[in-house]
Amino acid sequence: MGARAFRRSAAVAVAALGAVAVTAVVSPAAADEDFVAGSGQVTTRLVKVGPTAGRLSFAPTVGLASANYTGTVGRAESKMFDYGALDGDIPPEFQSQTPSVRVDSTDDRAATGVSKTSAGLPPESPIRAGAATQQARAGDDPFGEATFLLGDFAPVPGVVELSGGRAVSRSGVAGGATREGLGTVTIGRLALGGGAVVLEGLRWEVHQRTGKHDDAGGSFSIEGITVAGTKLAPPKPDQLGAALKQVNEALKPLGLRLDAPVAGVDGGVASIGPLGIHVQASEPGRAVGAPLVGSLQPARDPITSGIIEASPEAGGLVTIGDIAIGALTGRGGIDLHLGGGTAYTEGERFTSPFGSFDLGADGIGPVSLGSDTRAAFTPVGSAPTAEPAESGGPGVKAGKVELAAARRQPGTTGGAAVVVGLVGLLAVLSMAGADWWRLRHEPRRILL
Query: Within 10 Å of residue 156's Cβ, how many Cβ atoms?
Result: 18
pLDDT of amino acid 295: 46
How far is residue 192's CA from residue 98's CA, in Å, rounded to a whole number? 28
Which H, E and C letters describe 217-260, residue by residue?
Answer: EEEEECCEEEECCEEECCCCHHHHHHHHHHHHHHHHHHCEEEEC
DSSP 120: -
How far is residue 291's CA from residue 287's CA, in Å, rounded to a whole number? 7
Decide: helix, strand or coil at residue 35: coil
pLDDT of amino acid 418: 60
pLDDT of amino acid 38: 94
Decide: helix, strand or coil at residue 392: coil
Work out whether the CA dihedral 295, 301, 306, 308 comes out positive or negative.
positive
pLDDT at 382 over 50: no
Which range is least confidently modeled, 41-55, 110-124, 224-238, 385-399?
385-399
Percent of the chain with pLDDT over 70: 54
Q: Measured between alpha carbons, how far is residue 266 from residues 208, 271, 390 in Å?
A: 11, 8, 18
How far is residue 254's CA from residue 244's CA, in Å, rounded to a whole number? 15
Average pLDDT in the chain: 73
| Type and span of the H or E element at 132 | strand 132-139
Q: Which residue has the higher pLDDT, 443 or 188?
A: 188
pLDDT confidence bin for 402, thresholds 50/70/90: low
Dihedrals phi, psi of 102, to nearest 5 degrees: -150, 140
Q: What is the CA radius of gyration of the chain?
A: 32
Q: How many helices (H) and strands (E) does the chain have?
A: 6, 24
pLDDT in tens, 173-223: 999 999 999 999 999 999 998 999 999 999 999 999 999 999 999 999 999
Which range is least confidently modeled, 271-280, 335-344, 390-399, 433-442?
390-399
Direct distance between the N- and C-terminal alpha carbons of the chain, in angstroms, rounded to an integer: 20
pLDDT in tens, 147-165: 999 989 988 788 889 999 9
pLDDT at 101 over 90: yes
How far is residue 341's CA from residue 148's CA, in Å, rounded to a whole number? 13
Rounded average pLDDT over 303-309? 49
pLDDT in tens, 30-66: 444 588 999 999 999 999 887 655 555 566 888 999 9
Residue of 192, 190, 197 lying closest to 150 (CA atoms): 190
Q: Which amino acid is at 42?
A: V
pLDDT of amino acid 317: 45
pLDDT at 420 over 70: no
Decide: helix, strand or coil at residue 64: strand
pLDDT of amino acid 81: 85
Task: Write the CB contacts of 263 (distance below 8 Å, at least 6 apart in sequence).
Answer: 206, 217, 218, 219, 220, 270, 271, 272, 273
CB 97 within 8 A of CB 423: no
Residue count (the chain): 448
pLDDT of amino acid 136: 98
How far is residue 431's CA from residue 424's CA, in Å, rounded to a whole number? 11
pLDDT at 362 over 60: no
Q: Which residue has the higher pLDDT, 87 or 189?
A: 189
pLDDT at 312 over 60: no
pLDDT at 328 over 60: no
Decide: helix, strand or coil at residue 55: coil
pLDDT of amino acid 274: 95
Output the CA angle 93-97-100, nearest 5 degrees: 140
DSSP 375: G
pLDDT confidence bin for 403, thresholds 50/70/90: low
Percent of the chain with pLDDT over 90: 40
Which range is least confidently modeled, 124-128, 316-320, 424-428?
316-320
How far is residue 87's CA from residue 372's CA, in Å, rounded to a whole number? 32
DSSP 365: -
